[in-house]
């Protein structure tokens, strides 16, 4: 497996090392994060210290000892931003279905055409695969607000409806 380390220079001529993430590394990260959620190591959307330690250890166990907490934090942000874009775009849209085999959202050509006309940024998702979308959904979809509990000031200040109480 590629160790994922590359070097880049900045404008001052100094060099810094950065991690080049592979599909396999993303899979390790997402599975480790899901395991830590199940263990209760993410509280109110934030990882516990033990959670981060365990995630980093998952990389160490497969020979990727160069992955540190900051690498995990940065990659999680990148993956979550990508997932959020896709989730917000396709969530609740009629006519689209996720295909686990092809790793694409699928729809009839005219449905895609209408979406791309309304949201040109959606065009990239027609043919670009979305690896590990199912894992990202499992990890982050419960953290998204749906609006189902939204209340207006009028709702809050109104007396409760007691007609359904016995």
pLDDT on residue 92: 84
Domain that holds residue 57: 5-145
**pLDDT value, residue 142:** 84
Q: Is 113 part of any domain? A: yes
- pLDDT recorded at residue 154: 60
* Inter-helix orientation angle 23-38/49-60, to 10°: 140
Q: What is the pLDDT of residue 80?
A: 97
Q: Is residue 161 part of a domain?
A: no
Domain-embedded: residue 164: no
152 in a domain, yes or no? no
- How many domains, the chain? 1
- Tell me the pairing of strands 46-47 and 15-19: unpaired
Does the reported pTM lie above 0.85?
A: no
Instruction: Confirm whether 162 is domain-assigned.
Output: no
Residue 160 lies inside a defined structural domain of this protein: no
* Spatial CB neighbours of 114, under 8 Å, sequence gap ≥ 6: none
For residue 18, what pLDDT is reported? 76
CB-based contacts of 107: which residues, under 8 Å, 6+ apart? Answer: 95, 96, 97, 115
Write down the pLDDT at residue 146: 47
Max CA distance (Å), the chain: 75
One pLDDT digit (tens) per residue for the chain, 166 residues: 445 555 555 566 666 677 899 999 999 999 999 999 999 999 999 999 999 999 999 999 999 999 999 999 999 999 999 999 999 999 889 999 999 999 999 999 999 999 999 999 999 999 999 999 999 999 999 875 444 444 555 655 666 666 665 5
Please give the radius of gyration of the chain, using alpha carbons only, rounded to the nearest integer: 21
Q: Supply the pLDDT for residue 62.
A: 97
pLDDT of residue 4: 59
């Amino acid at each position: 497996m590629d160790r994922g380390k590359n070097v880049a220079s900045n404008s001052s001529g100094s060099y810094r090392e950065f991690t080049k993430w592979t599909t396999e590394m993303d899979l390790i990260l997402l599975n480790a994060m899901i395991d830590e959620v199940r263990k209760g190591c993410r509280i109110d959307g934030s990882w516990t210290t033990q959670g981060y330690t365990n995630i980093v250890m998952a990389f160490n166990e497969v020979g990727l000892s160069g992955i540190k907490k900051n690498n995990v934090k940065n990659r999680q942000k990148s993956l979550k931003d990508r997932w959020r874009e896709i989730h917000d775009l396709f969530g609740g849209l009629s006519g689209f279905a996720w295909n686990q085999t092809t790793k694409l959202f699928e729809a009839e050509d005219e449905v895609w055409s209408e979406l791309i006309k309304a949201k040109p940024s959606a065009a990239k998702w027609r043919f670009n695969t979305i690896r590990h979308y199912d894992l990202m959904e499992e990890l982050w979809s419960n953290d998204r607000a749906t609006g189902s509990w939204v209340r207006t000031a009028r709702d809050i200040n109104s007396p409760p409806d007691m007609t359904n109480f016995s």
